[in-house]
Structure 1
Amino acid sequence: MGPEQPEQIARRQLEDVILPFWLENGIDTEHGGFFTCFDNRGRRRLSTDKFTWSQGRFVWLLARAARLAERGLLALDPAALVRHAERGASFLLEHAVGPDGRCAYVLDEKGEPLAGERSVFADAFVAMGLAELTVHTGAPDHLATIDLIVQRIADDVAAGDPPTPPYPLPAGCSGFGARMIVLNARLDQVRAHQAVSGRKPSLDELRAARAAMLAHREDGGLFTETFVADPSMRDTILARHRTPGHALEGTWMALEAGDLLGETGDHADLVAGVSALCAAGWDDEHGGLFRYTGVSGRPYGGPYEDLVRRTWSTKLWWVHSEAAYATRLAAVRYGDAEAAGWFDRIWAYTLRTFPGGADGEEWIQIRDRTGAPLDEVVALPVKDPYHISRNLMQIVALGDHR
C-alpha cells in the first residue's frame, strides 16, 4: 500500500474532524439557521447571534457535502445534509433577504435583524449558498432570489465604494476582494442555472466579472490588492501591500470560470502565476504563507490599513486551504510540476499547523507567525465553517477526476 493520497487525507479530515464539529455544534434545530460564534479553539460558544455571512456559507458547505456524499466521496447521509441546508436557506429567506436583494448583516438567534451595516460579502454568500443548494436539488425555486442578489452586489461593486464592513476601504479605492466575490457569485449563479435548465445561460456577466477581477493582475503573476485612484496615494501601505491568499483564491476561480466559458487562452499564464504567488508569500524562516506582504510605504490610515499593519505576519486557515487547492488544481488538472512542489510544501505545513488536536476543536484557524494559536478575531467574531470545508471538498473531488 502506497502513501495516503491528498484526497484521502482531505476526506478523513472532513469526516473525522471538520464536519462532525459543525454538525454537532452548529445546527440550530429550534429556530433554524446556524451557530458559528465560537472561539478560535472551538471550545466556547460566544454568542447566539447569526452573521448572514456565515449563514450563507453554512448552507453552501452542507449542500456541497451532500453532493459528495451522493457520489460516495464522503461517508455522510446526503438526505440529512440537504434537510439542514434547506432549513438554513428558509431561515435566510424569511429573515435576512430584502425585497431589493440587500441582506441583513446580522440576526439574533430567532432571526430578528440586529443593527449593523450592510456588506456585499454577506449578500454574496447568501446567494452562493442558495446557488449550491440549487445545484444539488435542480429545483428552480431560488433562482430569482439568486439573480436579484448577485445583480445587486455586482452593481454596487461596479459603482464603486461598495459596503465591505468591518474593514471598509477609503473612498475612491477599489478592492480585489470585492471583484473576486462577484466572480465567485457569478460562477455559482451560472452553475445553478445550468443545474435547473440543463444548458448554459448567458455568460456575458460571468465573462465581465472574470475580466474585472483579472484587471488586478500584474506582470509576473502577482495581484494588486487595492487600486487607488489618487496618484498621491500610490506610495502608501494601502496601495503597495499584497494578499497572496486572495490572489491564489482568485486564480482558481479564474481558471474554473475560463473552463466554463471555453476561454482558456490565459490559462498557461495563470497556472504559472500560482508558483509566483506562493514564492511571494512564503515565510522562509517559520514556514507558511504570510497574510499580507509588501507592507511598506507611507501610512494612510483607516481600519483596513490598520489591520494590514497589525496582522501581516499571521498564519491563517483560509490562506493555506485556498493555496492548497490552487496549487493542487494547477498540478493535477494542468500538469504544472512547480505547483506540485508548492502543494506538497503548503499541504505539509497546513496539516502540521492548523488541526486543533489537543489544543482545540476542529482546526485552530488563527495562528501567529510561528504557528502558535492566536486567540483573536479575524473579520467577524465567528469560527469560519467555510474555507477549510470548501477547499478540502474540492481536493476530494479533484482526486476523483484524476
Structure 2
Amino acid sequence: MTVNMIQLQSEITEHWEQKILPFWSNLKDTTNGGFYGWVGNDLQVDRQAPKGGIATARQLWSFAAAYRVTGQDIWRDHAEHAYRFLADHVIDTEYGGMYWMVDAVGNPLDTSKHVYTQSFGVYALSEYYRATGDNSALELSKTLFSLIETRGLHTDTPAYREQFDRFWNEQPNEMLSENGVIADYTMNTHIHVLEAYTTLYRVWPDAQVKAALERLLAILYERVYDQDTKFLGVFFNKQWESIIDLRSFGHDIEASWLIDDALNVLGLEQHPAYAGMVTDIAYNISNIAVQADGSLMNEQEGEHVDETRIWWVQAEAMVGFYNAYQRTGDPQFLERVERLWAYTKEHIVDHRAGGEWHWSVDGNGTPDQHEVAGPWKCPYHNSRFCIELIERMG
C-alpha cells in the first residue's frame, strides 16, 4: 500500500483546525473562567458542571501547543484564559499542588491531590512557557515538579506514589485504579510524569530534571516493561509486583512514543535497551491488538479481550505507529497509521453538526452514550495526534 503523505498531512491539519479546535474553543467560559466542564452525548453544554484539574491542564496544553504550531493569536488568547483559571483556581495556594476538581466558578470541590494531576500541570505549564515565554508559568511548573519529587517520589523503591489528600497525606489510589483493584503504583502515572518532565526539560534543561527522567526510564524498563511478553504491566503493589493480569493496548503504544520522546531530549536515541523497548512495544501492539478493520482494541484482562474502540486509543496509536515508522522505516507502521486514520474518520469522529469525537464505538461502529466533554474527555489526545503528525510529516 502506498501512503500519500501530503494528503494525509493535509487532511489531519484541516481536521484539527476546522473540527477539533473550534469545538473546544466554543466551550470557553467567559463568565467564570476556564472552559465548561461537561457536554453530554446530546451535545448540550452544562454550564454549571464542575471543572476537572486534569481537564484544565489538558486544555491549557492543547491551546498553548496550537499557538506554538500555528502562531495564531486566537489560540494564545485561549491558552492564556486556561492558564489564568488554572493558576487562580486549580492551584492550592495554601498547601500546594493542583486540586482534583473545582466547581463551575472555581471553588475547590474535591481537594484530593494526585501525582497524575500534578504531572499534567507540569506538562501544560511547560508547554505554555514554550509557546509564549511567560516566565510565571515556568516558575509554577518548577514548583509542581519540586512537589512531585518531594511528596510523590518514594526514593527507596524508587516509585512515584499516587493519591494524597489536600494536606499531602497518602491515600488509597482510588482515582487511578480500575478493574476491581486498588494499585499502589500505576504504569499510567509513571508514563505521564515522564511525559511532563520531557516537556519541562525542553524548556528548563536542569540537572535535576535530567536525573528524574533517567530514573523514570529505568523504572519503566526494569519494573513496568516485561521483556518476555513485550507488554507493560498496569497495576502494581508497593513491591512492584503486578496485581492483575491486564494488558492495556492503548497505554502501551502511547508509552512507546513518550519513552522515545524522552530519549530524544536526553540524547539517548541509540540506548540499546531503551530503543529496543520502544520498537518491541510497537511491533507487539501492531501484531496483537490491531483489528481487521484497522482499529485498535482497548485491553485484555486474563482471557477476556475488550474490543471497544476508544477515542484516545486510536489517537495515541497513530502517533505511536508513526513514531515506530520513523525509527524503523518499516512500511507496516505507515500502513497502520493510514488505516487507523481512515477508521477514525469514519467511526470515531462525530459527524453531527457541533460534534467532535465519540468516546468510543463498538465492533459495529455504533457510538456509546458517554459524554463528549468531561473531566477525562478533553482536546489533549486528538489535538496532540494532529500536532505530532503535522510536525513529524512536515
Query: 1:11-33, CA deviations, whole angstroms, 9 ceiling, x for partnerless residues?
Result: 01111111111112x21122211
| Higher mean C-alpha deviation, range 335-344 or range 132-141 | 335-344
Aligned to 2:166: none
Q: Paired residue for 1:211? A: 218
Amino acid at match of 2:55: S
**1:367 and 2:374 aligned:** no
Q: Matches of 1:280 and 1:46 in 2, distance apart?
A: 42
Shift in alpha-carbon separation, 1:368–1:167, aligned structure 2, 3 A: farther
Q: Given residue 102 of structure 2, which amino acid in structure 1 is its aligned partner?
A: L
1:65-91 Cα deviation digits (max 9, x unpaired): 011112xxxxxxx22211221122122
1:3 deviates by 7.5
- State the percentage of identical aligned residues: 23
Secondary structure of 1:344's aligned partner:
helix
Per-residue CA deviations over 1:100-129 (Å, capped at 9, x if unaligned) read 432111112221111353322222222221
* 1:128-277 map, 5 Å: 128-159=123-154, 161-163=161-163, 164-168=173-177, 170=181, 173-193=184-204, 203-215=210-222, 216-219=224-227, 220-228=229-237, 239-264=244-269, 265=271, 266-277=274-285
CA–CA separation in structure 2 for the residues paired with 1:41 and 1:12: 25
Q: 1:350 aligns with which of 329, 335, 344?
A: 344
Whole-angstrom CA distance in 2 between matches of 1:108 and 1:101: 18
Partners of 2:290 and 2:5 lie apart in 1 by 26
The answer on whether the counterparts of 1:64 and 1:136 sit within 8 Å (CA) in structure 2 is: yes
State the match for 2:168 in structure 1.
none
The reply to whether residue 314 of structure 1 matches residue 319 of structure 2 is no
Residue 303 of structure 1 corresponds to which residue in structure 2?
A: none
- Tell me the equivalent position of 1:39: 40
Matched length: 369
The SS at the match of 1:114 is strand
- SS of 1:39's equivalent? coil
What secondary structure is seen at the aligned counterpart in 1 of 2:68? helix
**Local SS of the residue matching 2:67:** helix
Measured on the aligned residues, the alpha-carbon RMSD in Å equals 2.8
Normalized per residue, the structure richer in strand is 2
Structure 1 residue 59 displacement after superposition: 0.7
The answer to whether 1:289 aligns with 2:291 is: no
Counterpart selection for 2:85 from 78, 82, 91: 91
Distance change in 2, residues 1:64/1:98 (3 Å): same
Distance 1:80 1:214, change over 3 A: same
For residue 161 of structure 1, report the CA deviation from its aligned partner: 4.6
Q: Which residue identity does 1:178 align to in structure 2? A: T
- Which of 32-41 and 369-378 deviates more? 369-378
SS of residue paired to 2:185: strand
1:245-302: CA deviation from partner (whole Å, max 9, x where unpaired): 1111111011111111111223244224312113222234x65222111434xxxxxx
Q: Partners of 1:291 and 1:171 in 2: how far apart?
A: 20
Residues 41 and 382 (structure 1), Cα distance of their counterparts in 2 relative to 1, 3 Å cut: farther
In 1, the alpha carbon distance for the partners of 2:253 and 2:149 equals 21
For residues 380 and 44 of structure 1, do their structure 2 counterparts lie closer, same or farther at Cα, with a shift above 3 Å needed? closer
Q: Distance in 1 between matches of 2:248 and 2:152?
A: 19
- Amino acid paired to 1:8: S
Q: CA deviation at 1:344?
A: 2.6
Gaps in structure 2 of 5+ consecutive residues: 155-159, 164-172
Structure 1 residues 360 and 143: CA distance shift in structure 2, 3 A: closer
Partner of 2:169: none
8 A Cα contact 2:41 2:372, kept in partner: no
Gaps of 5+ in 1: 71-77, 297-308
Matched, 1:341 2:335: yes
SS in 2 for 1:293: strand
User: 1 CA distance for matches of 2:373 and 2:75?
Assistant: 27
- How many Å separate the matches in 2 of 1:90 and 1:267? 39
Distance 2:301 2:390 in 1: 33
**TM-score scaled by structure 2?**
0.84
State the distance in 1 between where 2:208 and 2:391 align.
24
1:73 paired residue number: none
2:110 to 115, 120, 131: 115
Flag the 1:252–1:42 CA change in 2: closer, same or farther, 3 A: farther
Deviation of residue 380 (structure 1)? 5.6
Instruction: Say which SS state the counterpart of residue 141 (structure 1) adopts.
Output: helix
